[in-house]
Each structure stands twice: as structure tokens, then as C-alpha cells.
Structure 1
Amino acid sequence: MNCPVCGGDCIEDAPALFARLPHAFAPCPDCMGLTYDKRAPPPDLAPAEPCPSCEKRFIDDVFAQIWTIMADTGDLSRDDPLAAAGTPLVHPGIALHRPPYLPPRSLVLLSRSVTEESARRLVAEVPEIRGVVRNGDGVPGVIDTGTDGNGRRHTLLAGCDVRADIFDTPAGPIAVYKQQSVIHIEFPHGQNPKILATYQAIRKRSPRTFVDACSGAGTLGLAGGVLGVPAVICNDAWYAAAFWTACNIGVNREALGVEGVQILHSIADLAERPVATEPVLVAVAEGARDIRVYHGDLRLLPPLLPDTVDLTAIDLFEKDDREKLKEITQFWIAAVGGDVFIP
């Protein structure tokens, strides 16, 4: 599919993405890179060139160029440390055991300091940059469910901020794409405790229908599908979460055993009602798995569910709000039944 943000070829099928992983961020024999103190400004050196053999460049050299451009435009002072430039989000996101050597267009920069002028220069002058996002306060997504409000977003200033994270499951890896300015960061760090909790719940219950009631970009729903659950239903009140869940079913269709996914609403359509109350069917996929994606308040979802739901994951952002978590869990058990777990 074409990228819904830039119209380009940013979204690869999972097998093609996985094929690049073993050496995605590894240096070739000709690579060279300098390590800088992140707590100090970088040295006043000309930008290091990408490796002539593999076109990769060490991340510290990339960030030194990013820092220099931001200092030239006044986003940073000459005394600011290298770390002040922002947070690197590599594409594809994998668990890294050493600092990466970055190929072209493999980095989304998330920064509080960056302005539009700098962002345009960064995309034009730094070959590793694919997109620049200015982050605001809080996490992108729903502020309060049941309000039909606008939610919270960061701001894409230049380029494209679509990137993928790769998560391992006991049945093999899954690729989870997202637009980083409107979806929370969920970077891989080896074994994922939420996926492990999902695997354990599925192994214990052997469900025929699994509901991921707060799906985000679809990680747990995808895990349920590749782990063999015959029917998977994903839902999220945030428009971007529901849309990217639908996209990710298509990306992982081979592992899921579906022919493809029918996406019924564009992201532009869904963005007209960013935080949904009444659930709307967003996507359908059929084959070895029967998969549905909804955009709506989970408390209004039960009438749309099959008669028997064996297992539900409720992964609220507000896990620290014990009373809210208890209230929603009790409601779900009474309205839907089956086993409920909090990943």
C-alpha cells in the first residue's frame, strides 16, 4: 500500500522487512565512526561522510550533523549538549545491543527544540533522516474516552514519520507500523512482557475469539493471530490506532494466514472523529483467521461482539488508575464474559 502520510513506498510487507534485519544497522568492514560525549556539544568538525561501500553512518556522526544544523538555526545554543538535539527512533525498530550504523532514511527525529526551518534542512541535508517530529506534552492519543474530543498529537514538521517496530513472538516476529507523531512510542527491548502475557493467556485458555480492546497499533491483536487464535477483534478509541492496526494486518497477512485486509475508512475519514464513542468497523480480514478492527469506546463494543468471547486484553494507558481499571474490567466481565487479563 502507498504510505498514507507521504504517498511513498514507506510500508513494506513483513517478510521483505524481516529480510533486511540481520545486518540492518551493522557496520561493513569499511565503516568508521566517532563516539561523542552526549553530555557535551560535539566537536567543531565537518560532517562525517556516509561509508562509500554501504552508505551507512555511525549514529553519533549523524547526531553531530543534526546538532550543528539546529545550532545554526538557533534551535540550540552552542553550549547545549549533543543529547539536546532530540530522541532517535530508528526504522525498523529492533532491540539493539550496540549503537547503530544508520542507512539512508532510517531515522525519525523526535525533538522538543526543533523548528520548521531546521526540520526542512534536516530532511534535505541529513541522508539518514526520514522525518522530523516536534513533540509536545504528554503521549499522543486519547486524553479522555467518551468525549468525542480531539486527543493529543505531536507535530510532523518535515518528511515522513511512518516507521515500523519489530516484535518477537513465540510464533515468529511481527511488524508494527505507525505514524510516530500520532501513536505512542513502543520501542522493542528484547522480550516484550505484554506479548509474553498474551502468549501465556492464550496458552492457558486456548480461545476461539480474542479481543484486544485497547489495541494501539495492533501489537497484541497481531500476536494473538500469529499464535493461532481463530478470531481476533481489535478496537481502539483513537483514530490513528485503529487505522494502523488495520494496516498492520495487511503487512503481516502471510503470518496471519489471511489473503489481505479490506480497509473501510481512510485515516482522513477517521481523523474527522479522532476520539470515537460509538464503534465503527474499520477493517475486515478473512482466511485462516477472522479479524475485525473497530474504532470506538470499548464500553460500547459488546453488542457488536460474537456471543462467545473467550479472552480479552484490556491495556489501558491509565494503568495507575486502579479504580478505573477495576470498573472497566468488572463491566467487561459482566457484559461480555470470558477471561480478562491486563498485559
Structure 2
Amino acid sequence: MHCPVCGHDCVTDARTVLAELPGRFAPCPDCMGLVYDKRSPPPDIDTAEPCPACGKRFIDEVFAHIYRVMAAAGDLAGTEPLAAVGTPLVHPGFAMRSAPYLPPGSLVLLSRSARERTAGRLVAEVPEIRGVVRTGPGTPGVSDTGAEPAEHALLAGCDVRSDVFTTRAGPIVIYKQQSALHIEFPRERDPKILSLEREMDRHQPRMFVDACCGAGTLSLAAARAGIPHVIANDAWYAAAYWTACNLRVNRESCGVGEVTMHRSYDDLRRLPVARDPILVATANGAHEIEIYQGDLRLLPTVLPPGIDLAALDLFEKKDAGKIEAITRAWRARVGGAIFIP
């Protein structure tokens, strides 16, 4: 599938991602790698090259290579610990039981220290890196339609990557643009998905609304579980777009045919935060799925009657007063059961 960030075909369907998953980060018999102390600078030894047999390299060796490039460029002094390089996000991410051996193009690096020129060198010189993102002070996204949104900065390469989440009905693959969406580390059993599954058992819904859908994890988990009608919504452009993209990626397991896109990535980016709900994508088949971009408080204007269950996964859950006001208004206008994952 066409990637709106880099223009290449780096988004593949869920079947392809899952088929490659078992051996994606496993070493071959010829692989070797040293484990480094992340609290100290890497030792003064030559960094191992990728394995000549399979092309993979142990993640600590990759980080040592990144460290040396950043130190040579002046982004690091050379006295910082190895962990100062940044946060590694592998593609695809899934619940791992051992440190990975990375194939080419499998790592998005989040870093506070990398500069743009150095990021270009990293993408060119470190084969495992697919993109370098400079992190900012906030979490990517928007806490309210009246608030200033936050994004990180993609410095070089492409920051589109995927995560694989486990559900009772089977796995789902969630792509996201990492500079524009918050990090979700997959676990063997995700707490939010478990929460959704408990509510589905309790209420047996036929129509589910994921009112703050992010990249669409709960929406697609609900569709994969067999809920006949799923409606996803988010005010943030990247969340609405990637939910639609992820519906395409998982359409086979979600029981839908072709996904119709009503808004392009560029259309949505021109209005990063929407208030009035905009229809972004639809799909039909064994299930009916609609995706909107808009303020959840205005979403009831486009909802059909008969909503059984709604997830209100608000960005800032610490504001108890705001949560109570939103849930009270939702209950009055929409009805049905509500839960906060």
C-alpha cells in the first residue's frame, strides 16, 4: 500500500506481516552479538557488521553503531550511557521474550539528541534504521479540540511502523506514523483489549463506538470479535487516517470488502484537529464500519440509533471532572453502556 510519508509501499496487509513474524527478529545459526551495558558508553571495540548469512544484527550492536555516528557528529559527547541514544521502536512490534536481531529497515529511532544532518547519516549508514524522529516535550496528538496539538519531528527516512496486538479472536496489525501518534507497546495481553472483551461479554453489543480511537486498536479488535457495526472516531487527523489505513490492512480478518476512503491523508492534514465530524472511510461486508474525524462531543449528531456500547478512551484520564461531564452528556444523548479503557 502507498505510504503517505515516504511514498513507498511500506504498508502491507496483515496476512503478510503475520506470516513473516515468527522469524522476523530471530538469529540464524551464524549470528553473533554482544550484550552491552546500557548504563555506560559502548566499549572501545569495533562494532559488528550485519550477519553475512541473514543480514541481521543484534540490537545492542546496532545501538553501538548509532552511538558512534552520533558521537562523531557531535550530537553526543561520548561520555553518555548507551541508552542516551534514544528509544528503539522495532517494526513490527510485538510481545517479545528476548532481545531482537534486527533485519534491515526494521527500526524507528526516537531521540532527543539527534540533529537533522546526523539523522540523514544514520539512515544512510546504519542499515537497520528506517527513520529517525526527534522527540518533543509533549505526547503526539491532541487532548481536546481547543488545545494545541503536539507532534514529534521526522528528521530522516520514514517513521511508519506497525505493532501486532493479540485478541481472543486473533491478532490485529496496527500501523502508525510514530511522529504523530503515541507509543503503544504490545503485550501478551493488552489491558485495553482485555477491558473491551470484558464489556463485550457483559453487553453482547451489536453496535460499538470507539469515540477516541487513536490508530484504531479497539475498533479493529471489536470488528475482529464479530460486532456487526463498528464506528471509530478521533479529532486528530493522524489517528483518523491510520485507523482507516489499518482497516484496509486487517480487512480480511475483520470481515469487510473494499474500504472506501472519503478523505485523503493530505485532506485530513489540512485540518489537523476537527470539530464537526467528517466521514473519513467506510467498509461493508459481514460487518459495517465507519470512521470519522471530529470532536466526540459532536459525534452523536451522525450516530444511528441503537448504540449498545461505547469506549471513551480520553487522552487525559486524570481530569475526573471532564470525564464525568463527557460521560454524562454521552449517556443523555446516545445511551448504551460506556466504559473507559
TM-score (norm 1): 0.98
Quick check: 1:33–1:60 contact (8 Å CA) kept in 2?
Answer: yes
The alpha-carbon deviation at position 320 of structure 1 amounts to 1.0
Q: Secondary structure at the match of 1:23?
A: coil
The alpha-carbon deviation at position 192 of structure 1 amounts to 0.2
User: Which among 316, 334, 337 is matched to residue 336 of structure 1?
Assistant: 334
Deviation per residue, 1:193-250 (Å, 9 max, x gap): 1001111111211111000000000000000000000000000010000000000000
d(CA) in 2 for partners of 1:263 and 1:132? 29
- When residues 244 and 124 of structure 1 are mapped into structure 2, their CA distance, relative to the original with a 3 A threshold, is same
Quick check: 1:257–1:287 contact (8 Å CA) kept in 2?
Answer: yes
Structure-1 residue corresponding to 2:63: 63
Q: Give the length in aligned residue pairs.
A: 341
User: Which among 170, 180, 185 is matched to residue 187 of structure 1?
Assistant: 185
Quick check: 1:143–1:152 contact (8 Å CA) kept in 2?
Answer: no
Paired letter, 2:42: P
Structure-2 residue corresponding to 1:325: 323
Moved more, 233-242 or 187-196: 187-196
Structure-2 residue corresponding to 1:158: 156
Structure-2 residue corresponding to 1:231: 229
The alpha-carbon deviation at position 144 of structure 1 amounts to 2.7
Structure-1 residue corresponding to 2:265: 267
d(CA) in 2 for partners of 1:194 and 1:207? 17
**Is 1:276 the counterpart of 2:274 in the alignment?**
yes
Structure-1 residue corresponding to 2:25: 25
User: Which among 253, 271, 274 is matched to residue 251 of structure 2?
Assistant: 253
Structural mapping, 1:33-48, within 5 Å: 33-48=33-48
Structure-2 residue corresponding to 1:312: 310
Structure-1 residue corresponding to 2:96: 96
Quick check: 2:62–2:126 contact (8 Å CA) kept in 1?
Answer: yes
Q: Secondary structure at the match of 1:260?
A: strand
Quick check: 1:134–1:154 contact (8 Å CA) kept in 2?
Answer: yes
Q: Secondary structure at the match of 2:171?
A: strand
Structure-2 residue corresponding to 1:286: 284
d(CA) in 2 for partners of 1:246 and 1:143? 21
Unaligned segments of structure 2, at least 5 residues = none
d(CA) in 2 for partners of 1:251 and 1:287? 15
d(CA) in 2 for partners of 1:326 and 1:271? 31
Paired letter, 1:119: A
Q: Secondary structure at the match of 1:53?
A: coil
Deviation per residue, 1:50-95 (Å, 9 max, x gap): 1111111000000000000000111101111100000000000001
Paired letter, 1:23: G
d(CA) in 2 for partners of 1:36 and 1:129? 19
d(CA) in 1 for partners of 2:229 and 2:278? 18
Quick check: 2:143–2:316 contact (8 Å CA) kept in 1?
Answer: no
d(CA) in 2 for partners of 1:319 and 1:47? 44
Quick check: 1:150–1:274 contact (8 Å CA) kept in 2?
Answer: no
Structure-1 residue corresponding to 2:86: 86
The alpha-carbon deviation at position 150 of structure 1 amounts to 5.1
Paired letter, 1:108: V
Structure-1 residue corresponding to 2:200: 202
The alpha-carbon deviation at position 45 of structure 1 amounts to 2.3
Paired letter, 1:218: G
- C-alpha root-mean-square deviation of aligned residues, in Å? 0.9
Paired letter, 1:142: V
Structure-2 residue corresponding to 1:295: 293
Q: Secondary structure at the match of 1:234?
A: strand
Quick check: 1:106–1:129 contact (8 Å CA) kept in 2?
Answer: yes
Moved more, 280-289 or 266-275: 266-275
Unaligned segments of structure 1, at least 5 residues = none
TM-score (norm 2): 0.99
Structure-2 residue corresponding to 1:108: 108
Paired letter, 2:182: H
Structural mapping, 1:99-138, within 5 Å: 99-138=99-138
Quick check: 2:109–2:131 contact (8 Å CA) kept in 1?
Answer: yes
Deviation per residue, 1:245-295 (Å, 9 max, x gap): 000000000001111211111111111111111110000011011000000
Quick check: 1:107–1:128 contact (8 Å CA) kept in 2?
Answer: yes
d(CA) in 2 for partners of 1:190 and 1:322? 30
d(CA) in 1 for partners of 2:107 and 2:46? 21
Q: Secondary structure at the match of 1:286?
A: strand
Paired letter, 2:188: G
d(CA) in 1 for partners of 2:34 and 2:151? 35
d(CA) in 1 for partners of 2:265 and 2:153? 16
